[in-house]
Chain A
Amino acid sequence: MKKAIHYINQFFAGVGGEDKAHFEPELREGKVGPGLALDSVLDAEITHTVICGDNFMGEKTDEAVSRIIDMLKSLEFDIFLAGPAFQAGRYGVACGTIAKAVQEEFGVPVVSSMHIENPGVEMFKKDLYILKGGASAAQTKKDTAAMANVANKLLQGEAVGTAEAEGYFPRGIREQVFLEEPVSAARRGVDMLIKKLAGEPFETELPIPAKDMVDIAPPIKDLSKARIAIVNTGGIVPVDNPDRIQSASATRWGRYDISEMDRLQSGEYKTIHAGFDPAAADADPNVIVPLDVMKEMEKEGVYGSLHPYFYSTVGTGTTQAEAERMGKEMLEKLQEDEVDGVILVST
């Protein structure tokens, strides 16, 4: 019998609710809570369950991940399952975080399940199989069955079908398939055209994601009084990267005080962006965050004043949803300081 390890949070382990959300990682033998339903339909035995409080995972992520990885090192297992997390946001992110880490560390397949509105979906759907789950624990039986269906194929080394057929969130992979009921491309095209001409619904075989166009802001009327901020997606951070912004597929951002300096010094600031050769930016971080020029122009009175922080994240591989969230979070800080304009440097 193959072996599985299951990850759940403090709530589904019966430890407690919000008051126990700081519960530290714990390894228990056997199955716990939703693990019973999962085990009953899985072609593997859940030998151990990892339990961790959602806040502990959210706030001390590195520690939580490394402690759990250490716990698993002495165990043999063929698959790692996390959740289902339903619509519980912190739990979904926790499931994605630990599943991705386990997959990378141990090279075993990982499977989770979340509701479409769970933020863990957008963050981790490209990294692992996340089944489209229900909103609440009332769906436990259905969601664990869907997880087991994919997990069992992975355990048997069988090909996992399309996202549509298996019910997981598309992982950003498109591949050719031979149609089970063969209809020629010519026929499909003509049928699609007939429907389109008749104003009837039709289904494109290559959906093109809608562009989220943002209107260009009106110009600042009087630049000499304007407060300006610098934001960049080129990954310029203090050399110790205090906010642990990821080098690609970023979900974190930081802001750094520049009120007491006239330029960013090499050796104090660097780029952590993995999408280009960092040599030039490490040698002179001002090529991405142009603090030097901005300070000069401030003194010359070209514009009113410089916002005392610059903001940083990494653009490469970052999802549109994450970028939008981070942008909105930055905007709150900028609006608090009544910033009139932003220079957004991309790389």
Chain B
Amino acid sequence: MKLQIGNFHVKDVVFGEQTAFENGILTINKEEAIAFIKEDTHITFADIEIAKPGEDVRIVPVKEAAEPRARVDGRTLFPGVTGELAPCGEGELHALKGVSVLGVGKHWGSFGDGLVDMSGEGQKYTLFGSLINVCLVIDDDVEEERHEQQKKNRAIRWATHLFAEYLGKTVLEQTPDEVETYELPPVLHRGPEVERLPSVVLVMQPQSQMEEMGYNDLVYGWDLNHFVPTFMHPNEVLDGALISGSFMPASSKWATYDMQNFPIIKELYKEHGKTLNFLGVIMSNLNVSLEQKERSAIFVAQIAKSLGADGAIVTEEGYGNPDADYIRCIVALEDVGVKVVGISNECTGRDGASQPLVVLDEKADALVSTGNVSTLIELPAAGKVIGELESLGRDGLSGGWAGDEILGPSVREDGSIIMENNAMFCGDQIAGWSVKTMKEF
């Protein structure tokens, strides 16, 4: 399977007469764009704002992020989500780099929403602080979840995916600045040079712990809660087979942007044929009951063993309860002789003294740590807020609070904030971007 991603480096994004990409400048006709977004009749309000690195801007509540892309063969960007089902992973994609489309609530936040700062101390806490963000600021008519802490945020999330494709289409007819090629032949036809190398799989555990449909990550539009692990080609992940959900505390989340660019996949590709034989991805999930967790671990270990994997990287989109799935999966793999490295964040509490994962096991002897969800972060007021700052404290975001007897409210009258890292949008970058680790003090 061969996927080519043609990259177009975006220097700036501006509003103008015609939605087009020229000389590194992405221009958006705001009126037309808003009309496109409002084709979803559930969207009662839509605005677009552009936030650039270095600007004194804070964005909250952020619900989703996607990279603007389009497929040259005309198939939809996220099959089963933005259009009809079609296989992912083969063919040509065109991608606008350095840009993301952010789905932002005009007012209302929910548990899994996050915050992005574009400058100052807060900028470093998210990847999106370093990208040009095309912020879709949206309100919808979904009254029944208006005051729920858990929201499906369907209209805003789907608008993000559809608008990513809308912008991506500006470069369909153009020649990319560079082309990334991702190609892996069938597992059994790689030749002796590759097959003598240690073979490895990536085990992905996307978030799927909501029993009610509509909140979880989707694979080809299918809810990952109703799923048992299966073998996938890594190109499928890079090519829109997965979309992010609306449940996990933000810092532990993989946005759709992360899935499109999954850094662990890209690093494994770099080693393929040199030091490793990258067999592919075992797509797993995260579950609620112990039996479900065990079932997924059994599937993963069996697939890895049957494929002849020598090693695996296991990564979870979550913390807390999902640590049980994460450690169980690592142990199940080690038990069948697959050597495992785990990549996840930790929850050691505001004082750093709590047990880092809910479950520990000595067999998990090679772990990469990407951050502490409960680190307290205090930031000065931003000159401009996109969205609604009050949502951080008011609406039950995982890292915000309305009031605390010692710390006071998350959002102060002067616009400064105090929050847990939990609400930094994809802040722990478990997908693999993270340049944070955990140290002993």
The complex places the Cα of A183 from the Cα of B436 at a distance, in Å, of 9
Check A177–B432 contact: CB distance below 8 A: no
Residue of A nearest to B370 (CB): A185
Chain B contacts for A193, CB-based, 8 A: 200, 276, 311-313, 339, 341, 366
Task: Please tell me which one of the listed residues B311, B370, B375 contacts residue A196 in the complex, with CB atoms under 8 A apart.
Answer: B311
**Proximity string of chain B (321-358) to chain A, C-beta cutoff 8 Å, 1 when within and 0 when not:** 00000000000000000010101001010011100110
B contact residues, total (Cβ < 8 Å): 54
Chain A contacts for B200, CB-based, 8 A: 193, 197
Chain B contacts for A202, CB-based, 8 A: 366
Q: What interface size band does chain A fall in?
A: 35 or more
Say if the beta carbon of A174 comes within 8 Å of chain B: yes
Chain B contacts for A174, CB-based, 8 A: 346, 348, 352, 356, 372, 438-441
How close is A213's CB to chain B, nearest CB, in angstroms?
10
Check A206–B341 contact: CB distance below 8 A: no
Task: Please tell me which one of the listed residues A170, A173, A182, A208 contacts residue B351 in the complex, with CB atoms under 8 A apart.
Answer: A173
Task: Please tell me which one of the listed residues B341, B353, B364, B435 contacts residue A179 in the complex, with CB atoms under 8 A apart.
Answer: B435
How close is A1's CB to chain B, nearest CB, in angstroms?
28
Please choose the segment from A65-73, A104-112, A157-165 that sits at the chain B interface, where 4 or more of its residues have CB less than 8 A away.
A157-165
Check B429–A208 contact: CB distance below 8 A: no
**Proximity string of chain A (57-98) to chain B, C-beta cutoff 8 Å, 1 when within and 0 when not:** 000000000000000000000000000000000000000000
- Give chain B's interface secondary structure class: mixed
Say if the beta carbon of A299 comes within 8 Å of chain B: no
Chain A contacts for B356, CB-based, 8 A: 174, 206
The complex places the Cα of A206 from the Cα of B346 at a distance, in Å, of 9
Q: Given A189-B343, A197-B198, A197-B339, is A184 in contact with B433 using a C-beta cutoff of 8 Å?
A: yes
Chain B contacts for A189, CB-based, 8 A: 264, 267, 313, 315, 341, 343, 368, 432
Check A210–B362 contact: CB distance below 8 A: yes
The complex places the Cα of A300 from the Cα of B341 at a distance, in Å, of 57
**Proximity string of chain A (174-199) to chain B, C-beta cutoff 8 Å, 1 when within and 0 when not:** 11111100111111111011101110
Say if the beta carbon of A141 comes within 8 Å of chain B: no
Chain A contacts for B160, CB-based, 8 A: none
Say if the beta carbon of A153 comes within 8 Å of chain B: no
Task: Please tell me which one of the listed residues A164, A183, A188 contacts residue B439 in the complex, with CB atoms under 8 A apart.
Answer: A164
Say if the beta carbon of B310 comes within 8 Å of chain A: yes
Q: Given A174-B348, A197-B310, A204-B367, is A190 in contact with B271 using a C-beta cutoff of 8 Å?
A: yes
The complex places the Cα of A336 from the Cα of B375 at a distance, in Å, of 51
The complex places the Cα of A35 from the Cα of B436 at a distance, in Å, of 39
Residue of B nearest to A188 (CB): B368
Check A176–B438 contact: CB distance below 8 A: yes
Say if the beta carbon of A215 comes within 8 Å of chain B: no
**Proximity string of chain B (68-112) to chain A, C-beta cutoff 8 Å, 1 when within and 0 when not:** 000000000000000000000000000000000000000000000
Say if the beta carbon of A205 comes within 8 Å of chain B: yes
Residues from 267 to 286 in B contacting A, C-beta threshold 8 Å = 267-268, 270-271, 275-276
How close is B259's CB to chain A, nearest CB, in angstroms?
13
Check B437–A176 contact: CB distance below 8 A: yes
Number of A-B contacts (CB under 8 A): 155
Say if the beta carbon of A171 comes within 8 Å of chain B: yes
Chain A contacts for B275, CB-based, 8 A: 194
The complex places the Cα of A192 from the Cα of B421 at a distance, in Å, of 26
The complex places the Cα of A186 from the Cα of B368 at a distance, in Å, of 9
How close is B331's CB to chain A, nearest CB, in angstroms?
11
Residue of B nearest to A165 (CB): B439
The complex places the Cα of A211 from the Cα of B435 at a distance, in Å, of 30
Residue of A nearest to B270 (CB): A190
The complex places the Cα of A81 from the Cα of B189 at a distance, in Å, of 67
Q: Given A188-B368, A196-B339, A206-B369, is A175 in contact with B264 using a C-beta cutoff of 8 Å?
A: no
Say if the beta carbon of A172 comes within 8 Å of chain B: yes
Check B362–A196 contact: CB distance below 8 A: no
The complex places the Cα of A177 from the Cα of B435 at a distance, in Å, of 9
16 A-B interface contacts by CB (under 8 A): A160-B441, A162-B441, A164-B439, A173-B353, A175-B438, A176-B438, A178-B124, A184-B434, A185-B368, A189-B267, A193-B312, A196-B366, A197-B339, A205-B437, A205-B438, A206-B438
Chain A interface residues (CB < 8 Å from chain B): 160, 162-164, 170-179, 182-190, 192-194, 196-198, 202, 204-206, 208-211
* New A-B contacts (18) at CB < 8 Å, excluding given A188-B437, A190-B271, A204-B366: A162-B440, A177-B436, A185-B432, A185-B433, A185-B434, A186-B431, A188-B368, A189-B315, A189-B341, A190-B268, A193-B339, A194-B276, A196-B311, A197-B198, A205-B369, A205-B438, A206-B364, A210-B362
